[in-house]
Structure 1
Amino acid sequence: MRLDEELERRLAAVARSQGRSKSDIAREAVRRYVDLHDEAFRREARRQSQRASRRQADDDYHFWDVIEQEDAAWR
């Protein structure tokens, strides 16, 4: 992973102050970032799935009826 000079300097300072390697700190930061965003993605997928499962089949028919009517109006 490439870092700009300022971030590299700050990371090195934090690593020294904690007695840890820069790689260890970077791994932890990436892991936390991925965990956070992966969980957010899963929550959104669950939300959309639950929303879709609550829809009635009639809603789909109504949607396509409206599309057909709009299409006919353009002709």
Structure 2
Amino acid sequence: DLDEPLTNGEEVTVGLVDEAGNKSPEVGATAPDTTAPEAPTAEFNEDGSEVSGTAEPGSTVQVKDKDGNVLGTAVTD
């Protein structure tokens, strides 16, 4: 058990040491990402053909019209 839960994709290293002091190879583990991202920023270019902005890296951005139809999708870097 951890004193404070890790829930935002934090990475830890886990290894074992037996009674004789022998160490195992270490492995990595990544905590689940359970925190919703902040709202993205968005703005059109001058001719209205492109939307740009900022969002959490690795998130999928969808541009939708007023009826909820997806007009474009991108993964942020």
TM range (shorter): under 0.3
Q: Which has the larger radius of gyration?
A: 1
Higher RCO, 1 or 2 (CA under 8 Å, sep at least 6)? 2
Provide the TM-score with structure 1 as the length reference: 0.17
TM-score, structure 2 as length reference: 0.17
Q: Which structure dedicates a bigger proportion of its chain to strand?
A: 2
Looking at secondary structure, tell me which structure has more helix per residue. 1
